[in-house]
A = this chain, B = another copy of it.
Amino acid sequence: MKKHTDILLNNKLRVTEPRLVMVKVLHSQSKPVSAEYLIQKTQLDKVTVYRTLHTFVEHGLLREIDLRQGKLLYELADRPEHHHVVCTDCGVIEDVDACVFESLQSKVLRDSGFAKVTDHAMEFFGLCKQCDA
């Protein structure tokens, strides 16, 4: 499929079969996925999956997310920025629109004496309606 090839080319990445397979699987999922999931779905060697994930993150194609599950998750970066809320019971993940981070940044700098804030993690944990019932 031309679309997936273009995604790689647009990001100045070599077009290889493993990368096309990974882009395809990543596009098929609307929720963040783990390296483990990609290894199983793509049947690629785990080293290839881990290395490709890093490459994609470096090129800004993917976002790396830590939802306290002992492993990192990945989602395509072409979606609008947002945060996540994770059910601590069943693990379901829902989106939360981009946060009020801008207004917090100055407070962070003031409190800490840091020079710059370049990134932040803001994730929420709770119970989804099913698990709360």
Enumerate A80-108 residues with CB–CB distance to B below 8 Å: 85, 87-88, 94-97, 99-100, 103-104, 107-108
Q: Please, which residues of chain B bring their CB within 8 A of the CB of A113?
A: 94, 128-129
Residues of B within 8 A of A132 (CB): 114-116
Q: Are B119 and A124 in contact (CB under 8 A)?
A: yes
Number of interface residues of A (CB under 8 A): 37
A125 near B: Cβ within 8 Å?
yes
Known A-B contacts A104-B99, A108-B96; the reply to A126 vs B117 at CB < 8 A is yes
Chain A interface (Cβ within 8 Å of chain B)?
66, 68, 85, 87-88, 94-97, 99-100, 103-104, 107-108, 111-129, 131-133
